[in-house]
Amino acid sequence: MRIKVFAPAAVVALALAGSAFAQMAPIGPGGVNQSAYQYIPDGHAAPPEAFTKGLTALSYRTLAVRAEDGGKLTPAHQSDLQQELNQLARKYRVMVDYRIRR
């Protein structure tokens, strides 16, 4: 009798656990859900590919300048790179909340 009750209950529990596990996302540093960066809500288009390429190039340039400055950007370099980022965002009409950090 117990097996007859236990088997359906186990099947239901496994089915619910599987769907709950599929919805889980890995938690990154600082407790941030990493999958949040992969979701684009309805009504919002992804940024243009040219913007993404420009942003990537700017990030590599920032790393190179930071290395030249000894690991920390000078205020002049920081403001120049931030200005480039702002120009890139204006050119492609993208709202960015990025800041170049020293």
pLDDT at 91 over 70: yes
Same domain flag for 19 and 68? no
Q: What is the pLDDT of residue 96?
A: 83
Q: How many domains does the chain have?
A: 2
Q: pTM score > 0.75 for this model? A: no
What's the one-letter identity of residue 81? L
How far is it between the farthest Cα atoms of the chain? Answer: 78
pLDDT tier for residue 45 given thresholds of 50, 70 and 90: confident
Give the bridge partners for 33, in sequence order: 27
pLDDT at 24 over 60: no
Same domain flag for 16 and 58? no
Same domain flag for 74 and 96? yes
Same domain flag for 54 and 25? no
Same domain flag for 9 and 54? no
The span from the CA of 75 to the CA of 80, in Å, is 9
Q: What domain range includes position 78?
A: 44-102
